[in-house]
Structure 1
Amino acid sequence: MGNKFLNCFALTISIIGALNWGLIGFFNLNLVALLFGSMSWLSRIIYALVGLCGLYLFSFYGMTTAGEEKVS
């Protein structure tokens, strides 16, 4: 259960981070800063979690290629 929870948690946090970056890019609206304050301790924790989850999701590349067979 732990690994599945971690995968879902990391994916959810990364999606939230991607949506925030989309809002920044399209509308110049930083939702995290709006809700929790600009670089408050809570917003910094959220940014750090998004970054850590993004790093964790690099391991998903190995999962996508693990089941593929080499065709020559």
Structure 2
Amino acid sequence: MKKYAFITVIVGALNWGGIGVFGVDLIGNVFGGTYEVFSRIIYFIVGIAGVYLAIISVPNKNT
């Protein structure tokens, strides 16, 4: 699960890098537009993967 979340977050980071540097939203362009349903699902999955990685990265104080 962690591997897939990491890959998803990398894809999201590359997309944001493309937006910042070139002004191009690759996910939006590939899936029909920024506000299309499938693009928004991809953005949601990237966000959930980021939250998941942030949660599992918090050190456990019990160990």
TM-score (normalised: structure 1): 0.75
Structure 2, unaligned stretches of length 5 or more? Answer: none
Higher helix proportion: 1
Corresponding residue number in structure 1 for 2:45: 49
Amino acid at match of 1:43: S
Residue-pair matches, total: 59
Quick one: percent identity of the two aligned structures? 41
TM-score (normalised: structure 2): 0.85
In the alignment, structure 1 residue 36 sits paired with structure 2 residue 31: yes
Amino acid at match of 1:42: F
Which has more radius of gyration? 1
Shift of 1:40: 1.0
Looking at structure 2, the residues matched to 28 and 41 of structure 1 have their Cα atoms a distance apart, in angstroms, of 21
Structure 1 residue ranges (4+ consecutive) displaced by more than 4 angstroms after TM superposition: none
From 54, 58, 68, the equivalent of 2:54 is 58
Amino acid at match of 2:48: L
Q: Superposition RMSD on alpha carbons, in Å?
A: 1.1
